[in-house]
Amino acid sequence: MGQYLRIPSTLGSDAMHLLEQIDALPRLVWRFTEPWRMLSSAAVGGGWGERCWVLNIEVPAEFHHTDLDALVHGVARGEHLDGDGIGLLTAADVRNAQHAVDGAVRATATVGLRLPTWAAAPPVAEGSTDPPWSPGTVNVVARVATPLSEAAMVNAVMVATEAKTQALFEAGVPGTGTATDAVVVACPAHVEGGPPLVEFCGPRSPWGAPLARAVYRAVAAGIPTSVARLRGEPPAPAGPVPHVARVEVDRLGGEHWS
């Protein structure tokens, strides 16, 4: 297995400073022209329901502010996002987000591997408490351009997580992810006269298979950059990348980036 370093960040963590500089936080912004059905483990806006936007916001690695809702909705106001949405946070460089497409499925991953861990780790010592939320984080945002049933959405979250873990395992990462990984699966709402609800989204199904491949490729592509960053290696030469990337998603799943 490769050597994965745990190097403390030197970035600041003052929450009020972040809130004052909220417009400068790097982020990915998905704005849906019509509400899509989403299932997510995100700390802000997660759960099940219709959502109008998704944010993936980069924060310093030592960020421990507990009012995540205030931060996410502050960014959302700055982006003029209306309705309910989902907010993800990460210490990974969102400008290195990786995108993969397989058929009518799209996946985006930001990969931060500062603190990989195994899901079935030994129990914490008696009397200790779970640590507060902290970034590091592999965030996956998957868009499936057909309506999924509620059961199929749960299936899709399972498939996306399995594909992420496969990518990490094959790269030699000593863990199934980080303790703060998050996933979003989004699909258009079912409308009368439109495509029928897909009832199953397992890894060998017509929609689950491309979902697995897209998530796997996006996560796998982000691992080398994350590892190089932890080792303090200089980033590969690249052209200027804006600190904010925005995408509009239409009713049929077409995406228009700016």
Q: What is the pLDDT of residues 74-102, one digit of tens each?
A: 999 999 999 999 999 998 999 999 999 99
Rounded to 5 degrees, what angle do the CA atoms 254, 94, 244 make? Answer: 65
Give the CB-side neighbour count of residue 103, counting CA atoms within 13 A.
12
Is 228 among the domain residues?
yes
Other C-beta atoms within 10 Å of 206: how many? 11
Is 79 among the domain residues?
yes
Is 84 among the domain residues?
yes
Give me the number of domains the chain comprises.
Answer: 1
Q: Express each pLDDT in 170-214 by its tens digit.
A: 999 999 999 999 999 999 999 888 899 999 999 999 999 999 999
Asked if 193 and 20 touch (Cβ cutoff 8 Å), the reply is no
β strands within 12-104, DSSP E:
27-40, 47-58, 85-90, 98-102
Is 194 among the domain residues?
yes
Query: What separation in angstroms does the CA of 99 have from each of 3, 238, 250?
Result: 26, 17, 18
Range of the domain at 34: 24-120+134-234
Q: pLDDT band at residue 4, thresholds of 50, 70 and 90?
A: very low
CA 97 to CA 59: how far, in whole Å? 14
Is 125 among the domain residues?
no
Mean pLDDT in residue range 224-252: 81
Is 206 among the domain residues?
yes
Is 88 among the domain residues?
yes
Task: Give pTM, 2 decimals.
Answer: 0.88
CA 11 to CA 185: how far, in whole Å? 31
Is 191 among the domain residues?
yes
